[in-house]
């Protein structure tokens, strides 16, 4: 008489053999054939061993072995850890040929699965009382399981939510979606709060539905990819690359990192309607046009304003050859009435011979002869 385990393995062997034959007839791929033949052989060997050992069942005539036989113990509980370890092995294999991160994830999964399986197996034999065994396992593993589970759950929620937000077609729809979700959460929260009692299954069901919706939405949004997000570099970025050509590049208007600089600039510089350059220093309400004094070796945030009736750019020549000092810096084209932030650092003072050789530091505006502002660096 065949035992249950033997039946399973014999059936699997037959199925593997059938699959091998069918694969050989209809496809004939070498790799697949080798894999299926290997599986058939492996399963057949396992089935043979199992038949021979009779699934480790004790014969009826060996009465002294009854007490220690597996059949005499309580049935082990259902366990997800063998499946987890199988998954881990697959992930590790996948990681070996794809990304290191997947390999590491597989290793973590493997370690976690092994520990859980070992502790579970040990706790199920800790005593004859199932309840006590379960409590022992909980005491051992809950301090690790709870925070890890919470972190993983929170990470999944945040990641799925961020995918949904980034996957929505526009900023407006993101705001709308955010508002709708917030309102739903508020409404459900109010509903729960208004009831005297609420059943555990209802709560669990509600959260399960929310989790499924969120994770599904995240998966779909993640597969669709993020919406196209335009990158805006600052004027300082372009200036540092010495992009002072005729090109017109949108800068600053949407570059959020310049907000802090604009909020606290070292000076405001104006190209006036009459074609002159004026400046205004913080703490001084008057606009001047004589000479702007700026400190040395310090990033000076300058707000460049175009009050003329044509798009213009400001240019300043710096001493060449010093660290952090490109030979020329400029704003991008500034529209009429527009403003850009330019961060300029002077490595050497105005009186240095190499600076005097280029006529000193001076802001100019190409195409406007009268636009010139001396910069003094003490």
Partner 1 sequence: MITSRRLIAAFAATALLSSCASDAPQDTWKPAGENAQMIHDLQWPIFLVAGIVGVIVLAFIALIVVKFRDRGQAMPEQSHGKAWLEYLFIAIPAVILTTIAIPTVGVVMALADTDDTECIINVTGQQWWWEYDYPVSADGTICGFTPSVADASPIITSGQVVIPTGTKVLLRGTSRDVIHSYWIPRLNGKRDMVPGRVHYLRLQSETPGIYAGQCTEFCGLSHANMRMETIALEPADFQRWLDNELEPYAAPVDGSLAAEGEATYIAQCARCHQVNGLVDDRGTDDPSDDSLVVSYPDQFVYSGAAPNLTNLMGRNTFAGATYDLLTDECRADVWEADPSEFGDLYLEGVTEDCLNEIELREWLRNSPAKKPMYADPEMLTETDGKTRGMPYLALSEDQIDQLIAYLLERK
Residues that bind partner 1 (CB under 8 A): 260-261, 263-266, 281-286, 288-291, 293, 295-299, 301, 322-324, 347-349, 351-353, 376, 378
- Are 234 and 331 contacting, i.e. CB atoms less than 8 angstroms apart? no
In the bound state with partner 1, the residue whose beta carbon lies nearer, of 164 and 348, is: 348
Per the rule left: phi > 0, alpha: psi between -120 and 50, beta: everything else, 352 is beta
From 240, 246, 241, 259, select the one nearest 341 (Cα to Cα).
Answer: 259
Tallying the residues shown for the chain, one arrives at 378
In the bound state with partner 1, the residue whose beta carbon lies nearer, of 84 and 293, is: 293
From 298, 350, 306, 347, select the one nearest 327 (Cα to Cα).
Answer: 347
We find the least distance from the C-beta atom of residue 33 to partner 1, in angstroms, to be: 59
In the bound state with partner 1, the residue whose beta carbon lies nearer, of 43 and 348, is: 348
We find the least distance from the C-beta atom of residue 260 to partner 1, in angstroms, to be: 7
We find the least distance from the C-beta atom of residue 330 to partner 1, in angstroms, to be: 20
- Are 43 and 9 contacting, i.e. CB atoms less than 8 angstroms apart? yes
- Are 344 and 301 contacting, i.e. CB atoms less than 8 angstroms apart? no
Residue 113: in which H helix or E strand, if any? helix 100-123
Burial class (CB in 10 A: 0-12, 13-18, 19+), 185: exposed
We find the least distance from the C-beta atom of residue 281 to partner 1, in angstroms, to be: 7
We find the least distance from the C-beta atom of residue 333 to partner 1, in angstroms, to be: 25
In the bound state with partner 1, the residue whose beta carbon lies nearer, of 126 and 281, is: 281
In the bound state with partner 1, the residue whose beta carbon lies nearer, of 81 and 270, is: 270
- Are 316 and 362 contacting, i.e. CB atoms less than 8 angstroms apart? yes
In the bound state with partner 1, the residue whose beta carbon lies nearer, of 91 and 235, is: 235
We find the least distance from the C-beta atom of residue 264 to partner 1, in angstroms, to be: 4
In the bound state with partner 1, the residue whose beta carbon lies nearer, of 266 and 271, is: 266
We find the least distance from the C-beta atom of residue 258 to partner 1, in angstroms, to be: 11
Where are the alpha helices (H) located in 130-272, listed in sequence order?
130-167, 171-194, 200-224, 235-240, 259-263
Q: How far is CA 18 from CA 37, 51, 343, in A?
A: 10, 21, 74
């Amino acid at each position: 008489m065949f035992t249950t385990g033997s039946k399973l393995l014999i059936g699997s062997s037959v199925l593997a053999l059938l699959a091998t034959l069918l694969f050989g007839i209809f496809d004939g791929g070498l790799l697949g054939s080798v894999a299926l033949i290997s599986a058939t052989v492996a399963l057949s060997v396992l089935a043979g061993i199992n038949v021979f050992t009779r699934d480790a069942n004790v014969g009826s005539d060996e009465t002294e072995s009854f007490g220690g036989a597996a059949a005499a113990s309580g049935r082990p509980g259902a366990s997800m850890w063998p499946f987890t370890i199988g998954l881990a092995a697959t992930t590790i294999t996948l990681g070996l040929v794809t990304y290191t991160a997947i390999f590491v994830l597989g290793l973590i999964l493997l370690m976690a699965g092994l520990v859980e399986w070992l502790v579970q197996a040990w706790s199920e034999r800790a005593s004859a009382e199932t309840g006590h065994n379960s409590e022992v396992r909980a005491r051992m593993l809950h301090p690790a399981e709870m925070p890890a589970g919470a972190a993983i759950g929170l990470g999944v929620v945040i990641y799925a939510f961020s995918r949904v937000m980034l996957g929505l077609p526009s900023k407006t729809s993101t705001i709308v979606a955010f508002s709708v979700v917030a309102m739903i959460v508020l409404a459900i929260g109010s509903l729960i709060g208004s009831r005297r009692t609420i059943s555990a299954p209802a709560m669990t069901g509600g959260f399960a539905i929310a989790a499924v919706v969120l994770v599904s939405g995240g998966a779909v949004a993640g597969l669709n990819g993020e919406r196209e997000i335009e990158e805006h570099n600052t004027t300082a970025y372009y200036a540092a690359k010495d992009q002072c050509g005729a090109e017109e590049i949108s800068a600053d208007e949407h570059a959020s990192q310049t907000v802090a600089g604009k909020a606290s600039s070292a000076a405001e510089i104006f190209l006036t309607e009459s074609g002159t350059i004026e400046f205004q220093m913080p703490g001084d309400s008057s606009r001047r046009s004589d000479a702007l004094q700026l400190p040395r070796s310090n990033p000076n945030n300058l707000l460049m304003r175009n009050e003329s009736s044509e798009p213009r750019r400001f240019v300043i020549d710096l001493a060449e050859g010093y660290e952090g000092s490109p030979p020329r810096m400029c704003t991008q084209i500034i529209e009429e009435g527009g403003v850009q932030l330019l961060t300029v650092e002077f490595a050497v003072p105005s009186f240095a011979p190499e600076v005097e050789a280029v006529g000193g530091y001076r802001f100019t505006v190409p195409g406007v002869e009268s636009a010139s502002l001396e910069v003094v660096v003490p």
